[in-house]
Structure 1
Amino acid sequence: MYRYIVDFYKGKSPEGSALEDHIKHLLSSVEAGTQFVAESEDGRLAGFATLYFSFSTTRLQKIAILNDLFVDAEFRGAGLGEKLFLHVLEYTKKEGYAYMTWQTASDNTSAQALYKKMGGKNINSEWIHYEIEHN
């Protein structure tokens, strides 16, 4: 799992065991979030999805944030991303989340095509995303 996440982020991961410890926490507790894994028919790890949970103060409901959706290059094109996405979406519905939100890189056109196919809408909201790095 660690290798897939590091590959997904193109090697930009914390030093030491911090990322591995975080993954273990996600897999053992669903308070902050959860992680789903997809296996190939022969049992190899083929992809993963990571959800984090939050709360909307304007809607007074819990919400889910899809942070990662990754399928190993070897398994792409066979519908695994779609199956993994639908599994995560069904989980958020079943668990009573008001909605699931996510973002993707502007140049990731294959992900954008998948999300559009799954019914996702580019909300182009009035909200502007900011970030301050603490390193």
Structure 2
Amino acid sequence: MKIIEAAINDKDGITELFNEYRMFYGKASNKSEAALFIEERLENQDSTIFAVKKGEQFVGFVQLYPTFSSISMKRAWILNDLFVLKEARKQGVAQMLLDQALLLCKKTNAMGLSLQTAPDNLSAQKLYEKNGFKRDEEFYTYSLMC
């Protein structure tokens, strides 16, 4: 297995994973919209996507978005999406992707990496906690759908 930073020529493989990821979270399959979304992220370079390939098959990906911390006056990263195909789980793929995300954080001198996961996604929680992530007990998160 090898990890790559996705480029536009990887769009089809990333799209398949992204569509599966959305279905994991209860969304209907929509490959055409998924392809458009991934293509826009890659062309506009407004996210960084790493993928793990096993041979020629894409088996997992992580998508990170840059943001900034006004308090620390530094860049920060949001780990927005991390997904591994069911048949590739328990093989270290998620750890490879998380390691690459942490490396990006260090390479860009970012102040940190944040993420959210579903309360029932216990395997993801275990991975994050094993890697030193702490669940926020200090701040509340609010959201509003526009």
Normalising to structure 1: TM-score of the pair? Answer: 0.86
How many aligned residue pairs are there?
A: 131
Asked if 1:53 is matched to 2:69, the reply is: no
Gaps spanning 5+ residues in structure 1: where? none
Higher helix share: 2
Distance 2:71 2:78 in 1: 16
Show the counterpart of 1:38: 52
CA RMSD, 1 decimal: 2.0
Query: Displacement of 1:99 after TM fit?
Result: 0.5
Query: Displacement of 1:13 after TM fit?
Result: 6.6
Query: Displacement of 1:26 after TM fit?
Result: 2.5
Query: Displacement of 1:29 after TM fit?
Result: 4.3
Please tell me whether the aligned partners of residues 16 and 31 of structure 2 are also in contact (alpha carbons under 8 angstroms): no
Matching residue's letter, 2:39: K
Asked if 1:25 is matched to 2:37, the reply is: no
- Cα distance change of structure 1 residues 14 and 73 upon mapping to structure 2, 3 Å threshold: closer
Show the counterpart of 2:96: 83
Matches within 5 A, 1:1-135: 1-10=14-23, 12=27, 17-30=32-45, 32-40=46-54, 42-125=55-138, 127-134=139-146
Query: Displacement of 1:97 after TM fit?
Result: 1.1
Q: Give the secondary structure class of the aligned counterpart of 2:37.
A: helix
Query: Displacement of 1:28 after TM fit?
Result: 3.6
Q: Give the secondary structure class of the aligned counterpart of 1:9.
A: helix
Please tell me whether the aligned partners of residues 67 and 102 of structure 1 are also in contact (alpha carbons under 8 angstroms): yes
Query: Displacement of 1:25 after TM fit?
Result: 3.0
Between the aligned residues of both structures, percent identity stands at 31
Gaps spanning 5+ residues in structure 2: where? 1-13
The structure, 1 or 2, with the larger RCO (C-alpha pairs under 8 Å, 6+ apart) is 2
